[in-house]
Structure 1
Amino acid sequence: MSSVSVSTAPSPALAGQAGALVTAGKFFRLGAEGEKVFLRGVSYGPFRPNSRGEEFPEDARIATDLAQIRQMGFDTVRIYTPPSEVILTEALKLGLRLIVGIAWTDHVDFLRSKSQQETILEDVRFVATRLRDHPAVAAFLVGNEIEKTLVRWMGPSKVQHFLEKLIDAGRECAPNQLFSYATYPSTEYLIPRNADFLAMNVYLEDRENFARYLQRLHHLAGNKPLVITEFGLDTATHGAAAQAETFAWFEEECRCAAVAGTVWFSYTDEWFRGGQDVTEWRFGIVDAGRQSRLQVSSSRFAVHGSRLEDSQPGTENREQRTENRELISVIVCTYNGGATLRACLESLQRLRHPNYEVLVIDDGSTEDIDSIVRPFVAVRYVHQDHAGLSVARNRGMKAARGSILAYTDDDCIMDEDWLGYIAAGFDDPKWVACGGPNIPPAPRNNVEAVVAAAPGAPAHVMLNDSEAEHLPGCNLAIRKSALEAIHGFREHYRTAGDDVDVCWRLREAGGHLRFIPGAMVWHHRRRTLKAYFGQQRGYGHAEALLMKDHPEKFGLRGGARWRGSIYGDSTPAEDLAEGSIFHGPLGNGLFQGIYQHSRRCSLDWFSGVLWIPLVVVTALAGWWFLANFLLALTFAATLCYRFSLPRPPHPLSWRDDLTLLALCWRQPVTREWARLRGMMKLGAFPSCHPTFKEVFEPSLTGMISIPLTGCSFWSDEGVGREELLKAAEPILHQNPSQDGWQRLDLENRKSRHLTLGLLTVTEYHGGNRRLTRASYHVRTPLWLAVSLPLVVMLLIASLLMLVTMTLPHSLDWLIDLVWRLGYPLILLWLFFHVLLRIRRGILAAAEKCGLKPCIHEGGAPLQS
């Protein structure tokens, strides 16, 4: 055993500001304008209850444990239950931040009972109220790893909604604290939309796979920080040497990938779970006797350049790859952008990269741009007659001395590590361009808050988790040699579209575009509605120009046909529709998520300008019913568009929400009309026409599951859902669902639009005690679920009408009675007859595998 390395004592400033964390785009800061903070944490517990019944060691052990954690260079501790007063006192004294878990009964179907949900909400409120504004508390986690088959059973969207209720309840009691939920790869889609950051527990022992998965997690996080709240290696299986090596590359990969915080699992081997000590696994960096297994360096990490200040074991090759000190030329093109240019240049002064220059290209502004630039002595000012954005960018390319050209806009504010991450992104010659997220800062007025939430903002288009098809020009770095090889920007793109054109041409020349999550800039959205619609008209005209140059990349209606998915329109957490999540066969997939995501909807045809001439023609023809029906479809399309957008980055009032809805109605009209005018003026037409199926069939199936009947079964011998499913296959004449996208375990798929099947889940109640639930479902599209009963009733009504025409009139009273009551009774009889047969089959399967029927009250299984 080796001794623990000792670092200097924590600074008083850190101890006093331990909990003053705020989110700032992809990172944490100490206050809105404070320094950037990367959390370096370790998990602590859960332990066997102490003499006071707390799930922590005795007070003396707590003090020595936390002191040892601080000595090892950690500044954050994750605990799984609310802290005792001793932990709060010691953490504050040592300058340790606490990530506090709020434990509740998440191993059972908690959505079945309203009273249980209220109890959980009260637990969250109590803990949040008790610890509100405590300087040692950095964040709360309102849950941890709800089991994957249990989430599938309850419904992912319902579980997500409940977690959001927990966060809202906690935030009401502690408005200045950060909140999230710790998910894991088996439910990576389960991300509360109101969480302050993405908390993910990940155990990937291969370095390259882990690095790739971090890229995916950044897309799941969207514009929020990513925190790895659990990562570790079992020394009982792999040994202490493998743990030391894994610990080194884990922290290095997380820093290189702009992960905002890490938590190593765990501090000690001492681990108490499910009412007993866990001894078969040993994840601790110290053993149960607090003897260290590895030397944990206390050196701090440099945030600039994604590099470590001090070399760690196994990092030498990565150091050589990321050490990129080429001169980078930052080029800011402006046209009457004096209102935001000064803040842009001030942020460029704060960049930490050691080797860069700044050029301001003034495209013939009528404002006095020179007087704004003059105080910044290190900035080169170049003036040209007004010729458009592309000419200005080419002028910057020719004047630049650097080998990498980093383009940005005059209304952007750069993160201080922007160029460091950009430089590290060019570690492979195949990457000819790099860029990162552009995130709206705090709005300057209500209109800007609405515009930040409105559609049409600059967005990335991703081919996969790392490679992009398009990077917006406000955050676009290109190798100068690659840009010169394609002869720069095309100069007929005067206001927009130049970045799309140059990205497509770089890819056609064999280059690859890289997305760097840490290379973020703050990008102000338009501050007036007039400016916003002017921007959308510019985008529409630019699309016509792009269609002229790239007709093969546009579809029937003139919209660009991207190969990849649009980053920024929505994150996978925004849409948990039935059938969109890959659960794996029987719901047991280790990595479950939404791998194909799209906002397409059949109602898209009734947005834009197409509906306007249709309404006018039908109204002039006097077909008022049809005209009103088309208007209703237009309103439905607007609602579909509005609710497909991600949650607004800033809170909106109800008036602002109405304004946003109006923008969702008008924005497609404005943009499409500008595009059509440009197409007619330029003679631009798309050469790629979609098929009938692509036009009229939505990308997502919109399937829903309708439960028909359910049963619960109890076992003291460890029998669960796997045994029940095996026994039910021959009895119910169904087969296991194999494609992994279905919610059902067993299914009898008669057609693509109708599936009958069984869904199961097993709750674990300690030891071998199991409670298994089974529910028979019909899975069908929403439109079919609504129309099928109507069709059946119409068929029965037609049959009764036929009978009426053939029977004598003396039996009219009987016919009338059958007409009024017959078909509902027939439907009910058929329904209950089918349910009875299904229930008998499930009970027979349970009896075959040794499960006993039971009822479930208040979470306690009771045999019937």
Structure 2
Amino acid sequence: MSFNGLAEAPERGFSLITHWNQQYGLCHVHLADDGGYALASPPVGLIVFWWLGRPVAHRWCADGGSEPLAGQIDSHVLELIAAEEQRAGAAQLGASVVICTRDRPDELRRCLASLPQQTWQAREVIVVDNASIGRRTRDVAHEAGAIYLREERPGLDFARNTGARAASSPILAYTDDDVLLHPTWLERLVAAFDTPTVAAVTGLVLPAELATDAQEHFEKHWSFGRGYLRQDFDTARFAQHRDDVFPAWEIGAGASMAFRREIFERIGYFDERLDVGQAGCSGDSEFWYRVLAHGLSCRYEPRAVAFHVHRRTLDGLASQIHHYMRGHAVALLVQWERTGIAANRRQAWLGMPRWYAGRLWHRLRGLCRPQDRFLREEVLGYLSGLLFYLRHRREGS
């Protein structure tokens, strides 16, 4: 029997100490009384055995023995026990962390520095260098003790797939070089894989700073944040959008995502026409879309927190938005190509152009809205995405 953890609940006046017996699958919980929560008189403690999915409670007696505890176990105790069971089960999965980078060694160093602070340590950290110039990226990866791989083909999804093929753990967690990770990021991300149908998990991505006009604009109109409540995206929810486009981008952000390793063998790898270095973005959302189309689920877990450093300059933000819409156009057509769901093609060729025409008409009438600040970049990016797809579509599509 091994010591597994301590969870405090001061408002209830007790501490929860959990032990996990791997051989018999029992969760042993000792609830030590701190004087504010009376279990018995005189209270010494409580031990709960999970047997065939049901909790059986005993309380410790002053003479060192124990006796059955009658009545219902407090719901707060059960919540803490369930949380500790989830932690113990997920810990058995193990995770590889993959960071794809190009010519940003200083940002990479900061990201890597947040990994040793994690409450759960990754089995391996893989840095995929997407054709950086010079040796600094390799040196930073080696200094951090990470596995260093080089991918010469320019494109984020080439790099992501290189990392996926090299990883050896059941769970693959991805983050970006311009991200700082909360200490419980990996723990929470992996723990969310608590049912076999959950194939992908994303986390809450908050701004690391809001110091410039560009960063404030991005967070207000293009934020990675998806709220503070857990959400499950399953086949039933996906089926509701057979006649329109399922908004896969609402599932999360590629700066904080994880997958079961086996899913890549089942549905394929990231589409290498998408994302930075190729179309511009949306390799993550296209993959989530594919997960749902194959009858599996994605989960958004806001307790897995990461902090993203947004572009600091308006020129940098303008370029980012251009490539976002370029990638979005390609992703719609790739989703149609891979699934045959016609709503994606209809949205790409009719829905989005009609939407942009309406926004341009408002602009011509002198109605300037904050969200239209980069409308020119959006429209030109979207049109270039359509042309990109026509040049790179697969045979038979």
The two structures have a TM-score, normalised by structure 1, of 0.33
User: Does the CA-based 8 Å contact 1:328-1:406 persist in structure 2?
Assistant: yes
- Give the equivalent residue in structure 2 for 1:420: 187
Aligned twin of 1:644: none
Matched, 1:369 2:159: no
Match status 1:343 vs 2:102: no
Q: Which has the higher strand share?
A: 2
1:516 to 301, 307, 313: 301
Q: If you compute each CA radius of gyration, which structure gives the higher value, 1 or 2?
A: 1
Report deviation, 1:42. Answer: 4.8
Q: SS state of the match for residue 110, structure 2?
A: helix
CA distance in 2 between partners of 1:678 and 1:413 (Å)? 31
Asked whether the 8 Å contact 2:87–2:191 carries over to 1, the reply is no
Looking at structure 2, the residues matched to 520 and 361 of structure 1 have their Cα atoms a distance apart, in angstroms, of: 22
Task: Give 1:394 shift.
Answer: 0.5
Taking the TM superposition and a 5 Å limit, the aligned residue runs for 1:223-242 are 241-242=71-72
1:477 and 2:258 aligned: yes
Distance in 2 of aligned mates of 1:438 and 1:320: 22
Residues 370 and 38 (structure 1 numbering): CA distance in 2 closer, same or farther, change over 3 Å?
Answer: farther
Q: Once the two structures are superposed, what CA deviation does each residue of 1:726-774 show, in whole Å capped at 9, x if it has no partner? A: xxxxxxxxxxxxxxxxxxxxxxxxxxxxxxxxxxxxxxxxxxxxxxxxx
Distance in 1 of aligned mates of 2:118 and 2:299: 21
Q: Do the aligned partners of 1:387 and 1:494 also contact (CA within 8 Å) in 2?
A: no
Flag the 1:353–1:451 CA change in 2: closer, same or farther, 3 A. Answer: same
Match of 1:249 among 72, 78, 101: 78
Counterpart Cα distance in 2 of 1:320 and 1:364: 38
1:402 aligns with 2:169: yes
Distance 1:433 1:554, change over 3 A: same
Tell whether the 8 Å contact from 1:451 to 1:527 is kept in structure 2 after alignment: no
CA distance in 1, matches of 2:133, 2:293: 38
Contact 1:461–1:471 (Cα < 8 Å) also in 2: no
Q: When the two structures are superposed, what TM-score results if normalisation uses the length of structure 2?
A: 0.68
Hey, what's the Cα distance between the residues in 2 that align with 1:437 and 1:540?
22
Conserved in 2, the CA contact under 8 Å of 1:326 and 1:355?
Answer: no
Name 1:849's counterpart in structure 2: none
- The structure-2 alpha-carbon separation of the partners of 1:518 and 1:681, relative to structure 1 and needing over 3 Å to count, comes to closer
Taking structure 1 as reference, are residues 610 and 391 closer, same or farther at Cα in structure 2, changes over 3 Å only? farther
2:29 equivalent in structure 1:
none
- Deviation of 1:537 after TM superposition, in Å, equals 0.9
Q: Deviations over 1:571-601 (max 9, x none)?
A: xxxxxxxxxxxxxxxxxxxxxxxxxxxxxxx
SS of structure 2 residue aligned to 1:241: coil
User: How many residues are treated as equivalent by the alignment?
Assistant: 308
* Cα drift, residue 464 of structure 1: 8.3
CA distance in 2, matches of 1:560, 1:344: 41
- Structure 1 residue 382: deviation in Å? 0.8
Q: Which amino acid aligns with 2:141?
A: V
| Partner in structure 2 of residue 550 of structure 1 | 335
| Alignment pair present for 1:675 and 2:382 | yes
Task: Check conservation: 1:327, 1:357, Cα contact below 8 A.
Answer: no
| Number of the residue aligned with 2:94 | 327
Equivalences for residues 48-59 of structure 1 within 5 A: none
Amino acid at match of 1:479: R
Alignment of 1:6-155 (within 5 A): 40-42=10-12, 71-72=35-36
Distance in 2 separating the partners of 1:42 and 1:461:
28
Report % sequence identity: 22
Please say if residues 230 and 301 of structure 2, whose CA atoms lie closer than 8 Å, have aligned partners that are also in contact.
no
CA distance in 1, matches of 2:209, 2:94: 32
The correspondence of residues 580-729 of structure 1 with structure 2, limited to 5 A, is 608-611=359-362, 615=364, 630-631=365-366, 634-635=367-368, 638=369, 661=370, 664-683=371-390
- In the TM superposition, what is the alpha-carbon distance from 1:558 to its structure 2 partner? 4.2
Q: CA deviation at 1:683?
A: 4.3
Alpha-carbon shift at residue 606 of structure 1 (Å)? 7.3
**How far off its partner does 1:489 sit?**
0.7
Higher relative contact order (CA 8 A, sep 6+): 2
Alpha-carbon RMSD across the aligned residues, in angstroms, is: 3.4
C-alpha deviation, 1:322, in angstroms: 3.2
Instruction: Please say if residues 394 and 489 of structure 1, whose CA atoms lie closer than 8 Å, have aligned partners that are also in contact.
Output: yes
Shift of 1:503: 0.7
Residue 221 of structure 2: SS of its match in structure 1?
coil
Residue segments in structure 1 that go unaligned for 5+ positions in a row:
1-36, 44-68, 75-239, 257-306, 308-317, 562-603, 616-629, 639-660, 685-864
Q: Post-superposition shift, 1:70?
A: 5.9
> Could you tell me how far apart the structure 2 residues matched to 1:323 and 1:361 are?
26
1:526 is aligned to 2:311: yes
Partners of 2:318 and 2:377 within 8 A in 1: yes
**1:331 is paired with a residue of what secondary structure?**
strand
Q: How far apart are 1:675 and its partner, in Å?
A: 0.5
State the partner residue of 1:441.
Answer: 208
Change (3 A) 1:681 1:434: closer
In structure 2, distance between residues paired with 1:560 and 1:606: 11
Contact preservation (8 Å) 2:111, 2:181: yes
In the aligned structure 2, how far is the partner of 1:488 from the partner of 1:357? 20
Structure 1 residues 644-666: Cα deviation after superposition (integer angstroms, max 9, x where no partner): xxxxxxxxxxxxxxxxx3xx222
* Residue-by-residue CA offset, 1:781-838 (whole Å, 9 max, x unaligned): xxxxxxxxxxxxxxxxxxxxxxxxxxxxxxxxxxxxxxxxxxxxxxxxxxxxxxxxxx
1:375 aligned partner, one-letter code = E
**Counterpart residue type for residue 545 of structure 1:** V
Paired letter, 1:458: F
Secondary structure in structure 1 of the residue aligned to 2:10: strand
3-state SS in 1 of match to 2:254: coil
Alignment-mate amino acid for residue 471 of structure 1: G
Q: Which moved more, 1:666-675 or 1:418-427?
A: 666-675
Compared CA separation, residues 541 and 371, structure 1 to 2 (3 A): same
Cα distance between partner residues in 2 of 1:519 and 1:559: 36
Ranges in structure 2 where 5+ consecutive residues have no aligned partner = 1-6, 14-32, 39-69, 235-247, 337-341, 392-397
Aligned to 2:49: none
The Cα offsets for residues 254-274 of structure 1, whole Å up to 9 and x where unpaired, read as xx4xxxxxxxxxxxxxxxxxx
